Amino acid sequence: MNVKLIRRAVPLLLVGSGACARAMTAGSDFTPGIDFSRYTSFSWEASDDRPVGDPRLENNPFFVGRLHNAIERELFLRGIEQGAAGPALTVHHHATVRDHLEVFEADRAQGYETPEFGPGTQVVQYDEGTFLVDLADARTRQIIWRGWVQMDITKALTDGRFMEEQINAAVEMMFEEFPIRER
């Protein structure tokens, strides 16, 4: 069984599992020319005091724990382990939530229409989550890699199991183009 193929399919299944779920988008960027193989350990940076924008995630230890577990797993797969003594990287993350509206032409042939917004118009409202993960060189304090994801987190805000599945899928997508491949 091809584990990599299954890992790539899971995010697509999760995104497509909700009738109103919007697509999950993720990406990353990094400083070119850096030898990432020299980074073998990390520590967590202290949380910032920037608001998340939703009380369900604000200072939520369950969300933070799930996010940390997903990030730790992806780093471990690339040979980077949490190490308190002399970490080479510091990891920082931030989340924001905002209401999001999408307005588009409804597929009338399939019977979709919301007349209250005008003929042929469909409006979808959802909670959009944006998660950023920064890896910084512990010595220089310079960010050397940033990953991000945006997704519909409406169901995840009320279902802990679904939140964990979405976080795992999101962090996997974020790390797909990481400069160190999975071992």
In order along its 183 residues, the chain shows pLDDT tens digits of 333 433 443 333 333 333 445 689 999 999 999 999 999 999 999 877 888 888 888 888 999 999 999 999 999 999 999 986 678 999 999 998 887 777 777 676 776 666 666 667 777 777 889 999 999 999 999 999 999 999 998 888 899 999 999 999 999 999 999 999 888
Distance CA 87, CA 19 (A): 43
pLDDT on residue 59: 86
Contact 99/124 with Cβ under 8 angstroms? no
Tell me how long the chain is: 183
3-state secondary structure at position 103:
strand
Token pair 């795992």 is found at 168
Torsion angle, alpha carbons of 110, 111, 115, 116, to 10: -90
Q: Which pLDDT value is given to residue 4?
A: 43
Q: What is the pLDDT of residues 35-70, one digit of tens each?
A: 999 999 999 998 778 888 888 888 889 999 999 999
The answer to whether the Cα torsion of 170, 175, 176, 181 is positive or negative is negative
CB atoms within 10 A of CB 117: 12
- Residue boundaries of the structural domains of the chain: 3-174
Structure tokens at 66: 């799930």
Running DSSP on this structure, what letter comes out for residue 38? G
Instruction: Give the CA angle between residues 29, 173, 9 to the nearest 5°.
Output: 150
In CATH, the architecture of 3-174 is 2-Layer Sandwich (3.30)
